[in-house]
Structure 1
Amino acid sequence: MRIMSPRVLRALERFNADHPWDHNAHYHRWILRRLPKHIDRALDVGSGSGDLARLLAGRAKAVEAVESDPEITHQARNLTSPELPVTFTVADAMTELPEGPYAAITCVAVVHHLPYTEALLTFRRHLAPGGTLVIVGLSRAHGPMDHLLGALAVPANATMGWLKNKGRRAERPVSMTARTRQADMTFDEVTRDARAALPGVRLRRRLFWRYTLVWRRP
């Protein structure tokens, strides 16, 4: 059964283009609620222009923010007060992560760029006992549930864009992020591999074409 006609979908897509907003930043506060109020060291992998890293600095004694793009890293440093305990590093997430352990590791819209299982195991090695890993990821739509959530996200996306831009057409782009590519793993595949690498992990499909993963190291 068709939920919305192609004409309605095209109209919503045009509206979304005129009222963009940051889908990843939408989950930042949710990520913080998964973490303790006070933590020692935190690692943000794929930190982009540093929005989440700066939020983590409000509860961590030190934050390491890793990004592979030098231009974006330069922007992040310029946007960050020198008083905040955040260090931005240009590094490869698989081979050059700053030494842990970390009480918290976050990764938003990045893990689908990496060898998935290897990335999870790398994060696991850098996580301190009792530490928390929180990932917001992208997966390839496959099956009725994914397509239903995708259809529901289109009007919800338009509503959020209107609210965040106060009904006006956006005059500037959302926060600078690295170029993205489409996810090639389905949510079922993501779940299967995550459970093998991180026993006890919790995953959930989310709106706005995302899923969440939370794991606490024993």
Structure 2
Amino acid sequence: MMPLPRRVLRALDRFHAARPWDHNAHFHRWILRQLPGRVGSALDVGCGSGDLARLLAGRAERVHGVDADPAIIARARELTPTAVPVTYTVADAPAGLPAGPYDVVTCVAALHHLPFTEALEAFRDRLAPGGTLVIVGVARELTPVDRLLSLASVPLNIVMALLKTRGRPVPRPVSMTARTRPADRTFPEIVREARSVLPGVRLRRRLFWRHTLVWHRR
């Protein structure tokens, strides 16, 4: 994010602490729009408390959610009704990912925690022919475009917080319990490396400090 005066940052922190909303979940419906109406199987890497995995279960006959955090996997299992066809596994990605193949692989705000190229190769290799990979990621800000989108996201972030919480303070949602870390790759670096692994991949910068990646395996 572009530097702001310290007192403004403190005020924004207080505001968002009282009205938190999930920036990653904001992209879940967009992810579903990138997928076919029905698929056989889906893999959600870095599934957290399972919000996206449960949504994918509306499209897929079976869904496998994977996360390295045992506590959040336990929470995902608690939140998922037994009738919903989702299986959760504690595993480190990319080495511990199930073999597949899968018709859909998703990964939201987790790729920057993983060895980048190895993770993309693992996602690619687990896709069935005709399968779709969808990633929502974060990048280190560097370019003027990055900073412009970051600045534009600040007032929109306030508007979204008011809309999603209806202006009232709410409890902070639990999507993960493990410690997060900042992204170390810039968006141009991500584009360059992704194109070397996934020919024809589509990447876009997005508001709310995110970018997206979509790739279809032929």
Q: What is the TM-score of this pair, normalised by structure 2?
A: 0.95
Match of 2:174 in 1: 175
Q: How does 1:82-121 map to 2 (within 5 A)?
A: 82-121=82-121
Q: Distance in 2 between matches of 1:143 and 1:84?
A: 43
1:217 aligns to 2:211 (yes or no):
no
Q: CA RMSD for the aligned pairs?
A: 1.5
C-alpha offsets along residues 10-37 of structure 1, whole Å, 9 cap, x if unaligned?
4334322221110000000000000001
Match of 2:201 in 1: 201
User: How many pairs align?
Assistant: 216
1:151 aligns to 2:151 (yes or no):
yes
- Structure 1 residues 52, 64: CA separation in 2 closer, same or farther (over 3 Å shift)? same
Q: Distance in 1 between matches of 2:3 and 2:44?
A: 38
Structure 2 gaps of 5+ residues are none
Give the letter for the 2:173 counterpart. V
Match of 2:29 in 1: 29
Q: Distance in 2 between matches of 1:6 and 1:72?
A: 33
Identity of aligned residues (%): 61
C-alpha offsets along residues 112-170 of structure 1, whole Å, 9 cap, x if unaligned?
00110111001000000110000000000001111111111111111111111110112
C-alpha offsets along residues 167-201 of structure 1, whole Å, 9 cap, x if unaligned?
0112x111331321100000000000000110000
Match of 1:78 in 2: 78
Runs of 4+ residues deviating >4 angstroms: 2-10
C-alpha offsets along residues 27-58 of structure 1, whole Å, 9 cap, x if unaligned?
00000000001000100000000000000000
- After TM superposition, give the deviation of residue 92 of structure 1 in Å: 1.1
1:40 is paired with a residue whose SS is strand
- Structure 1 residues 98, 147: CA separation in 2 closer, same or farther (over 3 Å shift)? same
Give the letter for the 2:128 counterpart. A
C-alpha offsets along residues 79-123 of structure 1, whole Å, 9 cap, x if unaligned?
000001100000111111112110000000000001101110010
The 8 Å contact of residues 12 and 155 in structure 1, kept in 2 or not, is answered as no
Q: Distance in 2 between matches of 1:75 and 1:166?
A: 26
1:47 is paired with a residue whose SS is coil
Match of 1:48 in 2: 48
- After TM superposition, give the deviation of residue 210 of structure 1 in Å: 0.4
The 8 Å contact of residues 19 and 158 in structure 1, kept in 2 or not, is answered as no
- Structure 1 residues 70, 3: CA separation in 2 closer, same or farther (over 3 Å shift)? closer
Q: Distance in 2 between matches of 1:186 and 1:39?
A: 33
- Structure 1 residues 71, 3: CA separation in 2 closer, same or farther (over 3 Å shift)? closer
Give the letter for the 2:118 counterpart. E
Structure 1 gaps of 5+ residues are none
Q: Distance in 1 between matches of 2:172 and 2:62?
A: 29
2:12 is paired with a residue whose SS is helix
